[in-house]
Structure 1
Amino acid sequence: MQHRRMTAVTEFRELSPRVSDQLFLSPRMNFPGAARGAFAVELGRLLDRTYGIGQPKQLFDLLSAFALNFDCPWVAYGSRDQKGLKPVRGDPAVMLNYPDGWREHYLEMGYDKIDPTIKRGRRRIEAFRWSEVYNDESTTEDERRVLDEAAAFGLRSGVSVPLHGPDGSFAIMNFAQARDGEFPNRTITYLQLAALHFHLRVAEFANAAGIESTSNLSPREKECILWTAKGKSSWEIGKILGLSINTVNFHIKNVMRKMDANSRITAAIEVLKRGMIEL
């Protein structure tokens, strides 16, 4: 008797009605049957392809392509622990394709400290729409401003998927659209499944690596830590490089984390010792 080869695509075709029925987040808004089947097939293809991937960046590119099926050109993944965000673009801890203008503005304004999607994500298990956060009575005006300004940069509606782990670890995946409108519940289900799979695969990469690679500093990180080694304050470095104090501190904290240092001076000494910069 010949057995049919099962892939994630064929398995998900058979399981998708049952899986989506169990995981819908609120009363269902049904896609047409053909569209629903197509989305299930695309999710299955995503699952199949991720197992041939060797780098987190390639994995993120696959996820971003999958999100386009739901008109989501903007995707961001951020991993946090009890010490806060590990903010290195391209590092498995943070990957995103947000518009450059919004990314820079977000950092300069220090919005990672008041982002309402992060606050809500820490308290929630299930995915949620940004509109729910905006209309929540507990959301402050400063927090609403983050979403208003995101919309001004083209991220007009979105969904966040909280991803909780052991020891208080926390990650969040954001999917954003360039148009106003509510995400159908089945769309959220597919995005949530994709985000969870992505998160688990990233964890596998991290476990395989053993420890985070610290061999490279970005050009901006090198500039900031070089001026730190020369005795300049964050304010002075900002004036020299044309950056805000928040952005300078952001890059210096990255270097401190990569060097496993508890102060900027210790980080600068370690970078000099490794020959990564020269005075």
Structure 2
Amino acid sequence: MDISPMTAVTPPRGLATVVTDEYLAAPPMHFPSAAADTFAVQFGRFVDQTAGVVQAEQLFNLLCAFALNLDCPWSAYRYLTPGLRNPAEPNQTFMFNYPDGWQERYFKMGYDKIDPIIKTSRKRARAFRWSEVYNQACTTEDERRVFDEAAEFGLRSGISIPLHGPNGSFAIMSFARKRDFQNRTVTYLQLAALHFHLRAATLVNSSGIEEIPNLSPREKECILWSARGKSSWEIGKILGVSVNTANFHIKNAMQKLDSSSRTTAAIKALHFGIIEL
């Protein structure tokens, strides 16, 4: 194994603000001076840009821009509530800009329930390459299929950074692209991921939690059938309403879920627990 619109879900309660000793014990990296200077400047600019940001979504946009400067177009942040053992439960956070097609495929196939990145991140403290997990003897064929299908959407090479904290707090930052990652790229992405995580914690702890969007019963019905792959015409026939009415409710649901497409709206609704397939 080696930008589409961002999908961002409500920031979690009480993100971890503690860095484990294993991060601090990471060995120093030595790079050619020119490359090191470029990466250092880009990272410094990213840190400066985040100083006055007051929303987690804005932070994530800046992180994505930094990663793109390192030729890494796809980023994902996932926070699992302390004590949450089932990765399919809705009480977690997603922020990602993965291709819409892969997002839809990932949740439709239930890959969030078997994602080997989550299993591996629970046991690791430092960044790891997806190829390491793919080649492990303990990785099942079903788990390898998650990586294989991600590659079909362009996510051929990836790294993930576990972010462990006190009281079972746990998050994962992942970056993906079409070619292998150099070591210095991994190092700076790990630094950026940690900075994002700590900054997001500060925002969440100081401003509280955004409420789950309140969809009307009809909006829930329309977005549910949309998540099941039905067109507006089909939804209208199922619910006994006109196509225009179906589109009206879907548009309202998309606005409330702050989504630019039906697919991302459906994914958000699923992981807020608003609908169930």
Question: Normalising to structure 1: TM-score of the pair?
Answer: 0.68
Whether 1:163 and 2:163 are equivalent positions in the alignment is yes
User: Quick one: distance in 2 between partners of 1:215 and 1:172?
Assistant: 24
Match of 2:105? 105
Change over 3 Å in CA distance of 1:227–1:38 after alignment to 2: closer
**Would the alpha carbon gap of residues 222 and 169 (structure 1) be closer, same or farther in structure 2, given more than 3 Å must change?**
farther
Question: Where in structure 2 are there 5+ consecutive unaligned residues?
Answer: 1-22, 236-264
Cα separation, 2, equivalents of 1:250 and 1:49:
28
Residues 200 and 92 from structure 1, CA distance in 2 versus in 1: closer, same or farther, beyond 3 angstroms? Answer: farther
Q: Give 2:207's aligned residue.
A: 209
1:149 is displaced (CA, Å) by: 0.4
Q: What is the RMSD of the two structures over their aligned residues, measured on CA atoms?
A: 3.5
Structure 1 residue matching 2:209: 3-state secondary structure: coil
| Displacement of 1:251 | 3.4
Compared with structure 1, are the counterparts of its residues 167 and 128 closer, same or farther at alpha carbon in structure 2 (3 Å cutoff)?
same
1:23 aligns with 2:26: yes
Distance 1:163 1:224, change over 3 A: farther
Selected match of 1:189 from 163, 183, 187: 187
Is 95-104 or 167-176 further displaced after alignment? Answer: 167-176
Superposed displacement of residue 72, structure 1: 0.6
Please name the residue that 1:198 is paired with: 196
Q: Which runs of 5+ in 1 are unaligned?
A: 1-19, 229-233, 258-263, 265-279
In 1, the alpha carbon distance for the partners of 2:48 and 2:89 equals: 29
Deviation of 1:44 after TM superposition, in Å, equals 1.1
Equivalent runs, 1:1-279 vs 2, <5 Å? 23-24=26-27, 31-81=31-81, 82-83=83-84, 84-85=86-87, 93-179=93-179, 181=180, 183-217=181-215, 225-226=220-221, 238=228, 251=269, 254-255=272-273
- Give me the whole-angstrom Cα distance separating, in 2, the residues matched to 1:157 and 1:212: 33
Q: Which has the larger radius of gyration?
A: 1
Deviation at 1:206, TM superposition (A): 1.3
What letter matches 2:68 in structure 1? L
The alignment partner of 1:171 has SS state of: strand
Identity over the aligned pairs, expressed in percent? 53
Q: How much has 1:37 moved relative to structure 2?
A: 0.9
Aligned partners of 2:229 and 2:66: how far apart in 1?
A: 42
TM-score by length of 2: 0.69
Which has more helix, going by share of residues?
Answer: 1
- The count of corresponding residues between Structure 1 and Structure 2 is 221
- 1:139-175: CA deviation from partner (whole Å, max 9, x where unpaired): 1111001000000110010110001122212110110
